[in-house]
Structure 1
Amino acid sequence: MNQQNVKQMTIKCSDGELLAATIYEPTITVKGAVLMAPATGIKRQFYGNFANYLACNGYGVITFDNRGIGGSSTVPVAKSASSLQCWGEKDMPAVLECLKEVFPNTNYHLVGHSAGGQLIGLMHNAMDISSMFNFACSSGQLKNMKLAYLIQAHFFMNFFIPFSNAMFGHTKSQWLGMGEPLPKDVAKQWQQWCNGQGYVKTAFGKTVHQHYYNELTLPSLWVNAVDDDIANNANVADMMSVFPKLNGQTLTLTPSDYGLSDIGHMKFFSSKSQTLWPLALNWLDKH
Protein backbone atom coordinates (compact mmCIF):
# COMPACT_ATOMS: atom_id res chain seq x y z
CA MET A 1 0.00 0.00 0.00
CA ASN A 2 1.59 3.26 -1.12
CA GLN A 3 1.72 6.27 1.16
CA GLN A 4 -0.56 8.97 -0.22
CA ASN A 5 -0.06 12.72 0.21
CA VAL A 6 -0.37 13.44 3.91
CA LYS A 7 -0.59 16.95 5.35
CA GLN A 8 -0.97 18.25 8.89
CA MET A 9 -3.30 21.18 9.45
CA THR A 10 -5.23 23.12 12.06
CA ILE A 11 -8.99 23.53 11.82
CA LYS A 12 -10.72 26.48 13.49
CA CYS A 13 -14.14 25.84 15.02
CA SER A 14 -16.96 28.39 15.14
CA ASP A 15 -16.09 29.28 18.74
CA GLY A 16 -12.39 29.74 17.97
CA GLU A 17 -11.18 26.37 19.27
CA LEU A 18 -8.36 24.87 17.21
CA LEU A 19 -8.27 21.21 16.22
CA ALA A 20 -5.26 19.21 15.06
CA ALA A 21 -6.06 17.34 11.86
CA THR A 22 -4.40 15.25 9.17
CA ILE A 23 -5.43 15.26 5.51
CA TYR A 24 -4.89 12.24 3.27
CA GLU A 25 -5.01 13.23 -0.40
CA PRO A 26 -5.35 10.57 -3.10
CA THR A 27 -2.85 10.63 -5.94
CA ILE A 28 -5.59 9.35 -8.23
CA THR A 29 -8.93 10.90 -9.18
CA VAL A 30 -10.96 11.70 -6.06
CA LYS A 31 -14.08 9.53 -5.79
CA GLY A 32 -15.37 11.07 -2.57
CA ALA A 33 -14.25 12.47 0.78
CA VAL A 34 -14.43 10.98 4.25
CA LEU A 35 -14.72 12.50 7.70
CA MET A 36 -13.05 9.96 10.00
CA ALA A 37 -14.83 10.55 13.31
CA PRO A 38 -12.96 9.01 16.27
CA ALA A 39 -14.02 7.09 19.33
CA THR A 40 -13.96 8.76 22.74
CA GLY A 41 -10.41 9.67 23.73
CA ILE A 42 -8.75 8.09 20.68
CA LYS A 43 -6.13 10.14 18.80
CA ARG A 44 -6.22 10.59 15.05
CA GLN A 45 -2.97 8.65 14.53
CA PHE A 46 -4.84 5.45 15.41
CA TYR A 47 -6.75 5.77 12.13
CA GLY A 48 -3.75 6.66 9.96
CA ASN A 49 -3.28 3.32 8.19
CA PHE A 50 -6.99 2.99 7.49
CA ALA A 51 -7.17 6.57 6.18
CA ASN A 52 -4.20 5.91 3.90
CA TYR A 53 -5.94 2.78 2.59
CA LEU A 54 -9.00 4.83 1.66
CA ALA A 55 -6.78 7.46 0.02
CA CYS A 56 -5.03 4.77 -2.01
CA ASN A 57 -8.48 3.86 -3.29
CA GLY A 58 -9.49 7.36 -4.29
CA TYR A 59 -11.01 8.89 -1.15
CA GLY A 60 -9.83 12.09 0.45
CA VAL A 61 -9.83 11.69 4.24
CA ILE A 62 -9.51 13.97 7.26
CA THR A 63 -8.65 12.49 10.65
CA PHE A 64 -8.70 14.78 13.68
CA ASP A 65 -8.41 15.04 17.43
CA ASN A 66 -11.47 16.29 19.27
CA ARG A 67 -10.86 19.29 21.51
CA GLY A 68 -9.17 18.27 24.74
CA ILE A 69 -7.62 15.19 23.11
CA GLY A 70 -4.12 14.66 21.68
CA GLY A 71 -2.97 17.48 19.43
CA SER A 72 -6.17 19.43 20.12
CA SER A 73 -5.43 19.62 23.84
CA THR A 74 -4.51 23.30 24.08
CA VAL A 75 -4.79 23.65 27.87
CA PRO A 76 -4.05 21.25 30.74
CA VAL A 77 -6.72 18.55 30.61
CA ALA A 78 -8.04 19.48 34.07
CA LYS A 79 -8.82 22.98 32.73
CA SER A 80 -10.52 21.81 29.53
CA ALA A 81 -14.19 22.72 29.14
CA SER A 82 -14.68 20.11 26.39
CA SER A 83 -17.71 17.83 26.36
CA LEU A 84 -19.10 15.07 24.16
CA GLN A 85 -21.81 17.49 23.16
CA CYS A 86 -19.44 20.16 21.88
CA TRP A 87 -17.54 17.48 19.95
CA GLY A 88 -20.74 16.88 17.98
CA GLU A 89 -21.99 20.46 17.86
CA LYS A 90 -18.71 22.28 17.19
CA ASP A 91 -15.80 19.98 16.28
CA MET A 92 -17.34 17.60 13.76
CA PRO A 93 -19.16 20.35 11.80
CA ALA A 94 -15.93 22.35 11.52
CA VAL A 95 -14.04 19.31 10.24
CA LEU A 96 -16.77 18.61 7.69
CA GLU A 97 -16.58 22.19 6.41
CA CYS A 98 -12.82 21.80 6.06
CA LEU A 99 -13.32 18.51 4.20
CA LYS A 100 -15.64 20.29 1.75
CA GLU A 101 -13.07 23.02 1.15
CA VAL A 102 -10.16 20.64 0.60
CA PHE A 103 -12.15 18.23 -1.58
CA PRO A 104 -14.82 20.32 -3.35
CA ASN A 105 -17.55 19.08 -5.67
CA THR A 106 -17.76 15.48 -4.50
CA ASN A 107 -19.75 13.29 -2.12
CA TYR A 108 -19.00 13.42 1.60
CA HIS A 109 -19.17 10.42 3.91
CA LEU A 110 -18.73 9.84 7.62
CA VAL A 111 -16.83 6.84 8.91
CA GLY A 112 -17.63 6.75 12.60
CA HIS A 113 -15.92 4.75 15.31
CA SER A 114 -18.06 4.46 18.44
CA ALA A 115 -18.72 8.09 19.53
CA GLY A 116 -17.88 9.29 16.03
CA GLY A 117 -21.10 7.78 14.70
CA GLN A 118 -23.18 8.53 17.79
CA LEU A 119 -22.69 12.29 17.56
CA ILE A 120 -23.62 12.91 13.91
CA GLY A 121 -27.11 14.05 14.90
CA LEU A 122 -25.63 17.04 16.74
CA MET A 123 -23.99 18.36 13.56
CA HIS A 124 -25.86 21.33 12.06
CA ASN A 125 -24.46 20.40 8.63
CA ALA A 126 -25.10 16.64 8.87
CA MET A 127 -27.43 16.86 5.86
CA ASP A 128 -24.35 17.41 3.69
CA ILE A 129 -23.20 13.84 4.41
CA SER A 130 -24.17 11.30 1.72
CA SER A 131 -23.65 8.13 3.75
CA MET A 132 -22.35 6.82 7.05
CA PHE A 133 -20.29 3.72 7.81
CA ASN A 134 -20.07 3.01 11.53
CA PHE A 135 -17.99 0.52 13.42
CA ALA A 136 -18.67 -0.33 17.09
CA CYS A 137 -21.21 2.46 17.26
CA SER A 138 -23.90 1.83 19.85
CA SER A 139 -25.55 3.41 22.86
CA GLY A 140 -23.14 1.62 25.20
CA GLN A 141 -26.04 1.17 27.59
CA LEU A 142 -24.73 -0.61 30.65
CA LYS A 143 -27.85 -2.69 31.32
CA ASN A 144 -27.53 -4.44 27.95
CA MET A 145 -24.02 -5.76 28.69
CA LYS A 146 -23.24 -9.29 29.76
CA LEU A 147 -22.65 -9.62 33.49
CA ALA A 148 -18.89 -10.28 33.33
CA TYR A 149 -18.24 -7.08 31.41
CA LEU A 150 -21.02 -5.13 33.10
CA ILE A 151 -19.07 -5.25 36.36
CA GLN A 152 -16.02 -3.69 34.68
CA ALA A 153 -18.09 -1.10 32.85
CA HIS A 154 -20.08 -0.19 35.96
CA PHE A 155 -16.82 0.26 37.91
CA PHE A 156 -15.33 2.53 35.22
CA MET A 157 -18.44 4.60 34.59
CA ASN A 158 -19.97 4.92 38.02
CA PHE A 159 -16.97 4.75 40.35
CA PHE A 160 -13.74 5.53 38.53
CA ILE A 161 -15.00 8.52 36.51
CA PRO A 162 -16.55 10.40 39.49
CA PHE A 163 -13.58 9.51 41.71
CA SER A 164 -10.97 10.58 39.15
CA ASN A 165 -12.83 13.80 38.31
CA ALA A 166 -13.04 14.69 42.00
CA MET A 167 -9.41 13.83 42.71
CA PHE A 168 -7.68 15.14 39.59
CA GLY A 169 -10.14 17.43 37.83
CA HIS A 170 -10.30 15.04 34.88
CA THR A 171 -10.61 11.31 34.19
CA LYS A 172 -7.35 9.38 34.01
CA SER A 173 -8.86 6.86 31.60
CA GLN A 174 -5.39 5.91 30.38
CA TRP A 175 -4.86 4.13 33.73
CA LEU A 176 -7.46 1.58 32.65
CA GLY A 177 -6.40 1.39 29.01
CA MET A 178 -9.35 3.52 27.89
CA GLY A 179 -7.56 5.96 25.57
CA GLU A 180 -6.35 9.46 26.35
CA PRO A 181 -7.01 11.35 29.61
CA LEU A 182 -10.52 12.78 29.35
CA PRO A 183 -11.75 16.28 30.25
CA LYS A 184 -14.14 15.98 33.18
CA ASP A 185 -17.26 17.02 31.24
CA VAL A 186 -16.51 14.54 28.45
CA ALA A 187 -16.28 11.72 30.99
CA LYS A 188 -19.29 12.97 32.96
CA GLN A 189 -21.52 13.01 29.87
CA TRP A 190 -20.15 9.62 28.81
CA GLN A 191 -21.16 8.25 32.21
CA GLN A 192 -24.62 9.83 32.14
CA TRP A 193 -25.41 8.81 28.57
CA CYS A 194 -24.31 5.18 28.99
CA ASN A 195 -26.45 4.84 32.10
CA GLY A 196 -29.59 5.82 30.16
CA GLN A 197 -31.41 4.65 27.07
CA GLY A 198 -30.46 5.97 23.65
CA TYR A 199 -27.13 7.53 24.74
CA VAL A 200 -27.35 11.21 23.70
CA LYS A 201 -31.16 10.96 23.82
CA THR A 202 -30.89 11.14 27.60
CA ALA A 203 -29.76 14.78 27.17
CA PHE A 204 -32.56 15.88 24.83
CA GLY A 205 -34.35 18.85 26.40
CA LYS A 206 -31.69 19.09 29.13
CA THR A 207 -28.35 20.12 27.66
CA VAL A 208 -29.21 19.27 24.03
CA HIS A 209 -31.82 21.77 22.85
CA GLN A 210 -31.33 21.43 19.10
CA HIS A 211 -30.44 18.30 17.19
CA TYR A 212 -30.97 16.58 13.84
CA TYR A 213 -31.46 12.93 14.81
CA ASN A 214 -35.13 13.08 13.82
CA GLU A 215 -34.31 14.40 10.35
CA LEU A 216 -31.45 12.24 9.12
CA THR A 217 -32.38 9.77 6.38
CA LEU A 218 -28.95 9.01 4.91
CA PRO A 219 -27.99 5.39 4.10
CA SER A 220 -25.90 3.92 6.88
CA LEU A 221 -24.18 0.64 7.70
CA TRP A 222 -23.66 -0.25 11.35
CA VAL A 223 -20.93 -2.84 11.77
CA ASN A 224 -20.10 -4.54 15.04
CA ALA A 225 -18.30 -7.71 16.13
CA VAL A 226 -19.54 -10.69 18.12
CA ASP A 227 -16.66 -10.22 20.59
CA ASP A 228 -17.46 -6.56 21.33
CA ASP A 229 -18.77 -6.35 24.90
CA ILE A 230 -19.84 -2.72 24.48
CA ALA A 231 -21.37 -2.45 21.00
CA ASN A 232 -23.40 -5.64 21.24
CA ASN A 233 -26.46 -6.10 19.05
CA ALA A 234 -28.86 -4.76 21.68
CA ASN A 235 -26.86 -1.57 22.10
CA VAL A 236 -26.48 -1.06 18.35
CA ALA A 237 -30.26 -1.34 18.01
CA ASP A 238 -30.71 1.07 20.92
CA MET A 239 -28.52 3.68 19.24
CA MET A 240 -30.17 3.25 15.86
CA SER A 241 -33.56 3.85 17.49
CA VAL A 242 -32.46 7.46 18.16
CA PHE A 243 -32.59 8.02 14.37
CA PRO A 244 -36.28 7.35 13.55
CA LYS A 245 -35.96 8.02 9.79
CA LEU A 246 -32.47 6.66 9.19
CA ASN A 247 -31.94 4.20 6.35
CA GLY A 248 -29.86 1.80 8.42
CA GLN A 249 -28.42 -1.66 7.83
CA THR A 250 -26.47 -3.81 10.28
CA LEU A 251 -23.62 -6.28 9.91
CA THR A 252 -22.16 -8.36 12.74
CA LEU A 253 -18.66 -9.74 12.18
CA THR A 254 -17.24 -13.03 13.44
CA PRO A 255 -13.43 -12.77 13.67
CA SER A 256 -12.73 -16.31 12.44
CA ASP A 257 -14.65 -15.62 9.24
CA TYR A 258 -11.89 -13.16 8.32
CA GLY A 259 -8.94 -15.13 9.64
CA LEU A 260 -8.73 -13.01 12.79
CA SER A 261 -8.49 -14.07 16.43
CA ASP A 262 -10.40 -11.04 17.67
CA ILE A 263 -11.94 -7.73 16.57
CA GLY A 264 -13.67 -6.40 19.68
CA HIS A 265 -14.39 -2.69 20.03
CA MET A 266 -11.18 -1.31 18.55
CA LYS A 267 -9.39 -3.58 16.12
CA PHE A 268 -11.33 -2.93 12.91
CA PHE A 269 -8.95 -0.03 12.26
CA SER A 270 -5.77 -1.94 13.15
CA SER A 271 -3.36 -2.68 10.30
CA LYS A 272 -3.62 -6.33 11.39
CA SER A 273 -7.30 -6.24 10.37
CA GLN A 274 -6.84 -5.01 6.80
CA THR A 275 -8.90 -7.95 5.62
CA LEU A 276 -11.93 -6.04 7.01
CA TRP A 277 -11.26 -2.73 5.29
CA PRO A 278 -12.89 -3.62 1.94
CA LEU A 279 -16.20 -3.65 3.85
CA ALA A 280 -15.86 0.11 4.31
CA LEU A 281 -14.47 0.70 0.83
CA ASN A 282 -17.26 -1.24 -0.85
CA TRP A 283 -19.85 0.72 1.12
CA LEU A 284 -18.31 4.05 0.09
CA ASP A 285 -18.07 2.96 -3.55
CA LYS A 286 -21.80 2.18 -3.59
CA HIS A 287 -22.79 5.53 -2.08
Structure 2
Amino acid sequence: MLSEKIHCDDGAILTGNLFHADECLGAVLIGSATGIKQQFYQPFARFLAENGFTALTFDYRGIGDSLSQPVSDSRATLISWGESDMTAALHHLKARTDDKPLFLLGHSAGGQLAGLMRNAQQLTAMFNVGSSSGSLRNMRLLYQLKAHFFMNCFIPLSNWLFGHTKSQWLGMGEPLPAGVGRQWRQWCNGQGYVKTSFGKDVQNHQYDALKIPAKWVVATDDDIACEKNVKEMMSVYTNADHSLEILNPSLWQLKQIGHMKFFSRQSSALWHLPLTFFRQYL
Protein backbone atom coordinates (compact mmCIF):
# COMPACT_ATOMS: atom_id res chain seq x y z
CA MET A 1 0.00 0.00 0.00
CA LEU A 2 1.39 3.36 -1.09
CA SER A 3 0.15 6.68 0.25
CA GLU A 4 -0.72 9.05 -2.59
CA LYS A 5 -1.44 12.77 -2.91
CA ILE A 6 -4.17 13.47 -5.46
CA HIS A 7 -4.26 16.97 -6.95
CA CYS A 8 -7.64 18.38 -7.99
CA ASP A 9 -8.05 21.00 -10.69
CA ASP A 10 -9.21 23.60 -8.17
CA GLY A 11 -6.09 23.22 -6.02
CA ALA A 12 -7.52 20.85 -3.41
CA ILE A 13 -5.24 17.97 -2.43
CA LEU A 14 -6.71 14.62 -1.43
CA THR A 15 -5.07 11.71 0.34
CA GLY A 16 -5.36 8.26 -1.19
CA ASN A 17 -3.82 4.82 -0.94
CA LEU A 18 -2.75 2.73 -3.92
CA PHE A 19 -2.89 -1.07 -3.69
CA HIS A 20 -0.68 -2.25 -6.52
CA ALA A 21 -1.19 -5.59 -8.26
CA ASP A 22 2.05 -7.35 -9.20
CA GLU A 23 0.65 -8.28 -12.61
CA CYS A 24 -1.88 -5.54 -13.22
CA LEU A 25 -4.80 -6.48 -15.48
CA GLY A 26 -6.95 -3.46 -14.74
CA ALA A 27 -7.39 -0.59 -12.31
CA VAL A 28 -10.28 0.02 -9.91
CA LEU A 29 -11.23 3.34 -8.35
CA ILE A 30 -13.14 2.79 -5.11
CA GLY A 31 -15.66 5.56 -4.56
CA SER A 32 -16.66 5.73 -0.90
CA ALA A 33 -20.08 6.18 0.64
CA THR A 34 -21.00 9.53 2.21
CA GLY A 35 -18.94 10.14 5.33
CA ILE A 36 -17.05 6.83 5.19
CA LYS A 37 -13.27 6.96 5.39
CA GLN A 38 -11.12 5.05 2.91
CA GLN A 39 -9.72 2.75 5.60
CA PHE A 40 -13.05 0.94 5.62
CA TYR A 41 -12.38 -0.33 2.08
CA GLN A 42 -8.76 -1.37 2.48
CA PRO A 43 -9.30 -5.13 3.04
CA PHE A 44 -11.38 -5.21 -0.14
CA ALA A 45 -8.76 -3.15 -2.02
CA ARG A 46 -6.07 -5.65 -0.97
CA PHE A 47 -8.26 -8.47 -2.27
CA LEU A 48 -8.52 -6.73 -5.64
CA ALA A 49 -4.75 -6.23 -5.79
CA GLU A 50 -4.12 -9.89 -4.93
CA ASN A 51 -6.33 -10.79 -7.88
CA GLY A 52 -4.75 -8.62 -10.52
CA PHE A 53 -6.51 -5.26 -10.13
CA THR A 54 -4.61 -2.25 -8.84
CA ALA A 55 -7.01 -0.35 -6.58
CA LEU A 56 -7.10 3.25 -5.37
CA THR A 57 -8.96 4.34 -2.25
CA PHE A 58 -9.20 8.01 -1.29
CA ASP A 59 -10.99 10.39 1.05
CA TYR A 60 -13.18 13.11 -0.40
CA ARG A 61 -12.32 16.68 0.58
CA GLY A 62 -13.53 17.53 4.07
CA ILE A 63 -13.37 13.88 5.20
CA GLY A 64 -10.77 11.67 6.87
CA ASP A 65 -7.18 12.13 5.72
CA SER A 66 -8.24 14.73 3.13
CA LEU A 67 -9.54 17.04 5.87
CA SER A 68 -6.96 19.84 5.88
CA GLN A 69 -8.89 22.37 7.99
CA PRO A 70 -11.62 22.38 10.64
CA VAL A 71 -14.61 20.63 9.11
CA SER A 72 -16.77 23.71 9.74
CA ASP A 73 -14.48 25.69 7.41
CA SER A 74 -14.77 23.20 4.56
CA ARG A 75 -16.75 24.36 1.52
CA ALA A 76 -17.13 20.83 0.15
CA THR A 77 -20.37 19.72 -1.48
CA LEU A 78 -21.52 16.46 -3.00
CA ILE A 79 -21.13 18.12 -6.39
CA SER A 80 -17.48 18.96 -5.70
CA TRP A 81 -16.91 15.36 -4.59
CA GLY A 82 -18.09 14.11 -7.97
CA GLU A 83 -16.94 16.85 -10.33
CA SER A 84 -13.50 17.49 -8.81
CA ASP A 85 -12.51 14.74 -6.37
CA MET A 86 -13.59 11.64 -8.28
CA THR A 87 -12.35 13.16 -11.54
CA ALA A 88 -8.91 13.78 -10.03
CA ALA A 89 -8.77 10.34 -8.43
CA LEU A 90 -9.51 8.59 -11.73
CA HIS A 91 -6.91 10.72 -13.50
CA HIS A 92 -4.38 9.83 -10.80
CA LEU A 93 -5.16 6.12 -11.05
CA LYS A 94 -4.83 6.17 -14.83
CA ALA A 95 -1.40 7.78 -14.58
CA ARG A 96 -0.26 5.12 -12.09
CA THR A 97 -1.43 2.10 -14.12
CA ASP A 98 -0.12 2.65 -17.65
CA ASP A 99 -3.53 3.08 -19.23
CA LYS A 100 -4.93 -0.27 -18.08
CA PRO A 101 -8.73 -0.63 -18.31
CA LEU A 102 -10.35 1.61 -15.69
CA PHE A 103 -13.24 0.48 -13.52
CA LEU A 104 -15.30 2.10 -10.79
CA LEU A 105 -16.43 0.32 -7.66
CA GLY A 106 -18.99 2.73 -6.23
CA HIS A 107 -20.42 2.32 -2.76
CA SER A 108 -23.54 4.42 -2.23
CA ALA A 109 -22.35 7.98 -3.06
CA GLY A 110 -19.48 6.58 -5.14
CA GLY A 111 -21.99 5.20 -7.63
CA GLN A 112 -24.44 8.09 -7.32
CA LEU A 113 -21.84 10.73 -8.21
CA ALA A 114 -20.03 8.96 -11.06
CA GLY A 115 -21.97 10.87 -13.71
CA LEU A 116 -20.48 14.13 -12.39
CA MET A 117 -16.94 12.98 -13.20
CA ARG A 118 -15.61 15.00 -16.13
CA ASN A 119 -13.61 11.97 -17.30
CA ALA A 120 -16.30 9.36 -16.62
CA GLN A 121 -16.24 8.21 -20.22
CA GLN A 122 -12.75 6.79 -19.60
CA LEU A 123 -14.39 4.08 -17.47
CA THR A 124 -14.72 0.64 -19.00
CA ALA A 125 -17.46 -0.48 -16.57
CA MET A 126 -18.76 0.22 -13.08
CA PHE A 127 -20.02 -1.96 -10.24
CA ASN A 128 -22.18 -0.19 -7.67
CA VAL A 129 -23.04 -1.44 -4.19
CA GLY A 130 -26.01 0.04 -2.34
CA SER A 131 -26.12 3.03 -4.69
CA SER A 132 -29.59 4.47 -4.94
CA SER A 133 -31.57 7.69 -5.22
CA GLY A 134 -31.94 7.74 -1.44
CA SER A 135 -35.49 9.00 -1.90
CA LEU A 136 -37.11 9.10 1.53
CA ARG A 137 -40.58 8.40 0.17
CA ASN A 138 -39.59 4.90 -1.04
CA MET A 139 -38.06 3.63 2.21
CA ARG A 140 -39.74 1.22 4.61
CA LEU A 141 -42.03 3.20 6.91
CA LEU A 142 -40.09 2.72 10.15
CA TYR A 143 -36.77 3.63 8.57
CA GLN A 144 -38.43 6.46 6.64
CA LEU A 145 -39.31 8.10 9.96
CA LYS A 146 -35.70 7.81 11.13
CA ALA A 147 -34.42 9.15 7.81
CA HIS A 148 -36.80 12.12 7.89
CA PHE A 149 -35.57 12.99 11.39
CA PHE A 150 -31.92 12.79 10.30
CA MET A 151 -32.36 14.65 7.03
CA ASN A 152 -34.94 17.26 7.92
CA CYS A 153 -34.34 17.91 11.62
CA PHE A 154 -30.84 16.83 12.58
CA ILE A 155 -28.88 18.08 9.56
CA PRO A 156 -30.22 21.67 9.51
CA LEU A 157 -30.07 21.96 13.30
CA SER A 158 -26.53 20.58 13.47
CA ASN A 159 -25.36 22.88 10.65
CA TRP A 160 -26.89 25.87 12.43
CA LEU A 161 -25.43 25.04 15.84
CA PHE A 162 -22.00 23.71 14.88
CA GLY A 163 -21.32 24.81 11.30
CA HIS A 164 -21.23 21.22 10.09
CA THR A 165 -23.23 18.00 10.27
CA LYS A 166 -22.31 15.84 13.26
CA SER A 167 -23.25 12.61 11.48
CA GLN A 168 -21.14 10.57 13.89
CA TRP A 169 -23.62 11.27 16.69
CA LEU A 170 -26.20 9.12 14.88
CA GLY A 171 -23.80 6.50 13.57
CA MET A 172 -23.82 7.96 10.05
CA GLY A 173 -20.08 8.11 9.43
CA GLU A 174 -17.68 11.00 9.77
CA PRO A 175 -18.65 14.63 10.52
CA LEU A 176 -19.75 16.21 7.24
CA PRO A 177 -19.07 19.66 5.85
CA ALA A 178 -22.26 21.71 6.01
CA GLY A 179 -22.55 21.89 2.23
CA VAL A 180 -22.42 18.12 1.92
CA GLY A 181 -25.10 17.65 4.57
CA ARG A 182 -27.28 20.36 3.03
CA GLN A 183 -27.07 18.86 -0.47
CA TRP A 184 -27.58 15.33 0.83
CA ARG A 185 -30.79 16.50 2.50
CA GLN A 186 -31.99 18.29 -0.63
CA TRP A 187 -31.37 15.36 -2.95
CA CYS A 188 -32.91 12.70 -0.70
CA ASN A 189 -36.06 14.79 -0.38
CA GLY A 190 -36.37 14.87 -4.18
CA GLN A 191 -36.48 12.27 -6.91
CA GLY A 192 -33.46 10.91 -8.72
CA TYR A 193 -30.91 12.22 -6.19
CA VAL A 194 -28.49 14.45 -8.15
CA LYS A 195 -31.11 14.78 -10.89
CA THR A 196 -32.90 17.32 -8.68
CA SER A 197 -30.01 19.73 -9.39
CA PHE A 198 -29.84 19.25 -13.17
CA GLY A 199 -30.09 22.63 -14.87
CA LYS A 200 -29.47 24.37 -11.54
CA ASP A 201 -26.30 23.64 -9.55
CA VAL A 202 -25.40 20.93 -12.07
CA GLN A 203 -25.11 22.39 -15.56
CA ASN A 204 -22.85 19.75 -17.12
CA HIS A 205 -22.74 16.03 -16.45
CA GLN A 206 -22.12 12.62 -17.99
CA TYR A 207 -25.21 10.74 -16.80
CA ASP A 208 -26.72 10.61 -20.29
CA ALA A 209 -23.40 10.08 -22.08
CA LEU A 210 -22.24 6.97 -20.20
CA LYS A 211 -22.98 3.83 -22.21
CA ILE A 212 -20.79 1.47 -20.22
CA PRO A 213 -21.83 -1.79 -18.54
CA ALA A 214 -23.11 -0.96 -15.07
CA LYS A 215 -23.89 -3.65 -12.52
CA TRP A 216 -25.85 -2.71 -9.41
CA VAL A 217 -26.17 -4.89 -6.32
CA VAL A 218 -28.37 -4.29 -3.31
CA ALA A 219 -29.14 -6.40 -0.26
CA THR A 220 -32.68 -7.28 0.75
CA ASP A 221 -31.93 -5.94 4.24
CA ASP A 222 -30.61 -2.55 3.06
CA ASP A 223 -33.01 0.04 4.51
CA ILE A 224 -31.45 2.94 2.60
CA ALA A 225 -30.93 1.52 -0.87
CA CYS A 226 -34.20 -0.32 -1.27
CA GLU A 227 -34.83 -1.88 -4.68
CA LYS A 228 -37.14 0.94 -5.79
CA ASN A 229 -34.51 3.56 -4.98
CA VAL A 230 -31.77 1.59 -6.76
CA LYS A 231 -33.89 1.38 -9.90
CA GLU A 232 -34.59 5.11 -9.64
CA MET A 233 -30.85 5.82 -9.53
CA MET A 234 -30.22 3.45 -12.43
CA SER A 235 -32.70 5.44 -14.50
CA VAL A 236 -30.60 8.60 -14.08
CA TYR A 237 -27.87 6.87 -16.13
CA THR A 238 -30.15 6.84 -19.14
CA ASN A 239 -27.91 5.00 -21.61
CA ALA A 240 -25.79 2.67 -19.47
CA ASP A 241 -26.02 -1.09 -19.99
CA HIS A 242 -27.63 -1.95 -16.65
CA SER A 243 -27.94 -5.18 -14.71
CA LEU A 244 -29.26 -5.57 -11.16
CA GLU A 245 -28.64 -8.32 -8.61
CA ILE A 246 -30.55 -8.59 -5.34
CA LEU A 247 -28.53 -10.17 -2.52
CA ASN A 248 -30.32 -12.21 0.13
CA PRO A 249 -27.97 -12.59 3.13
CA SER A 250 -29.23 -16.07 4.03
CA LEU A 251 -28.38 -17.39 0.55
CA TRP A 252 -24.77 -16.36 1.19
CA GLN A 253 -24.73 -17.80 4.73
CA LEU A 254 -24.61 -14.28 6.15
CA LYS A 255 -26.62 -12.85 9.01
CA GLN A 256 -26.58 -9.36 7.56
CA ILE A 257 -25.40 -7.34 4.56
CA GLY A 258 -27.42 -4.17 4.92
CA HIS A 259 -25.98 -0.95 3.54
CA MET A 260 -22.42 -1.37 4.80
CA LYS A 261 -21.36 -4.97 5.32
CA PHE A 262 -20.64 -5.95 1.71
CA PHE A 263 -17.10 -4.70 2.41
CA SER A 264 -16.57 -6.45 5.75
CA ARG A 265 -14.23 -9.44 5.90
CA GLN A 266 -17.17 -11.57 7.05
CA SER A 267 -18.78 -10.91 3.66
CA SER A 268 -15.68 -11.71 1.60
CA ALA A 269 -17.59 -14.40 -0.31
CA LEU A 270 -19.37 -11.51 -2.03
CA TRP A 271 -16.14 -9.92 -3.23
CA HIS A 272 -15.91 -12.29 -6.18
CA LEU A 273 -19.01 -10.65 -7.68
CA PRO A 274 -17.23 -7.42 -8.76
CA LEU A 275 -14.08 -9.38 -9.57
CA THR A 276 -15.96 -11.64 -11.98
CA PHE A 277 -17.78 -8.65 -13.45
CA PHE A 278 -14.60 -6.64 -14.12
CA ARG A 279 -12.81 -9.63 -15.67
CA GLN A 280 -15.43 -9.74 -18.43
CA TYR A 281 -14.23 -6.40 -19.76
CA LEU A 282 -10.47 -6.79 -19.82
Deviation at 1:134, TM superposition (A): 0.4
Identify the residue that residue 40 of structure 1 maps to in structure 2: 34
Identify the residue that residue 16 of structure 1 maps to in structure 2: 11
Equivalent-residue separation in structure 2 for 1:149 and 1:184 (angstroms): 23
Q: Secondary structure at the match of 2:236?
A: coil
Taking every aligned residue pair, what percent have the same amino acid on both sides? 53
**1:195 and 2:189 correspond:** yes
- 1:55-76 Cα distance to aligned partner (Å, 9 max, x none): 0000000000000000000110
Equivalent-residue separation in structure 2 for 1:17 and 1:105 (angstroms): 24
Equivalent-residue separation in structure 1 for 2:133 and 2:10 (angstroms): 28
Deviation at 1:141, TM superposition (A): 0.2
Identify the residue that residue 261 of structure 1 maps to in structure 2: 255
Deviation at 1:253, TM superposition (A): 0.2
Identify the residue that residue 91 of structure 2 maps to in structure 1: 97
TM-score of the two chains, using structure 1 as the length reference? 0.97
Q: CA RMSD in A?
A: 0.5
- 1:80-136 Cα distance to aligned partner (Å, 9 max, x none): 000000000000010001001100131000000000000011111000000000000
- 1:151-197 Cα distance to aligned partner (Å, 9 max, x none): 00000000000000000000000000000000000000000000000
Deviation at 1:244, TM superposition (A): 1.1
Q: Secondary structure at the match of 1:241?
A: helix
1:247 is aligned with what amino acid? Answer: D
Q: Secondary structure at the match of 1:201?
A: helix
**1:133 and 2:127 correspond:** yes
Equivalent-residue separation in structure 2 for 1:246 and 1:122 (angstroms): 14
2:16 is aligned with what amino acid? Answer: A
Equivalent-residue separation in structure 2 for 1:285 and 1:9 (angstroms): 26
Q: Secondary structure at the match of 1:111?
A: strand
2:148 is aligned with what amino acid? Answer: H
Deviation at 1:79, TM superposition (A): 0.5
Identify the residue that residue 3 of structure 1 maps to in structure 2: none
Q: 2:277 aligns with which of 273, 283, 287?
A: 283
Identify the residue that residue 241 of structure 2 maps to in structure 1: 247
Equivalent-residue separation in structure 2 for 1:239 and 1:58 (angstroms): 30
Equivalent-residue separation in structure 2 for 1:136 and 1:30 (angstroms): 27
Equivalent-residue separation in structure 1 for 2:208 and 2:123 (angstroms): 15
- 1:207-232 Cα distance to aligned partner (Å, 9 max, x none): 11111111111001000000001111
Q: Secondary structure at the match of 2:46?
A: helix
Equivalent-residue separation in structure 2 for 1:246 and 1:187 (angstroms): 28
**1:183 and 2:185 correspond:** no
For structure 1, the residue ranges without an aligned partner over 5 or more in a row are 1-5
Equivalent-residue separation in structure 2 for 1:186 and 1:79 (angstroms): 12
Equivalent-residue separation in structure 1 for 2:199 and 2:214 (angstroms): 26
1:138 is aligned with what amino acid? Answer: S
Matches within 5 A, 1:99-248: 99-248=93-242
For structure 2, the residue ranges without an aligned partner over 5 or more in a row are none
Q: Secondary structure at the match of 1:229?
A: coil
Q: 1:57 aligns with which of 51, 70, 77?
A: 51
2:54 is aligned with what amino acid? Answer: G
1:26 is aligned with what amino acid? Answer: A
Equivalent-residue separation in structure 2 for 1:274 and 1:100 (angstroms): 27
Equivalent-residue separation in structure 1 for 2:52 and 2:231 (angstroms): 32
Deviation at 1:9, TM superposition (A): 1.2
Equivalent-residue separation in structure 2 for 1:9 and 1:129 (angstroms): 21
1:159 is aligned with what amino acid? Answer: C
Q: Secondary structure at the match of 2:113?
A: helix
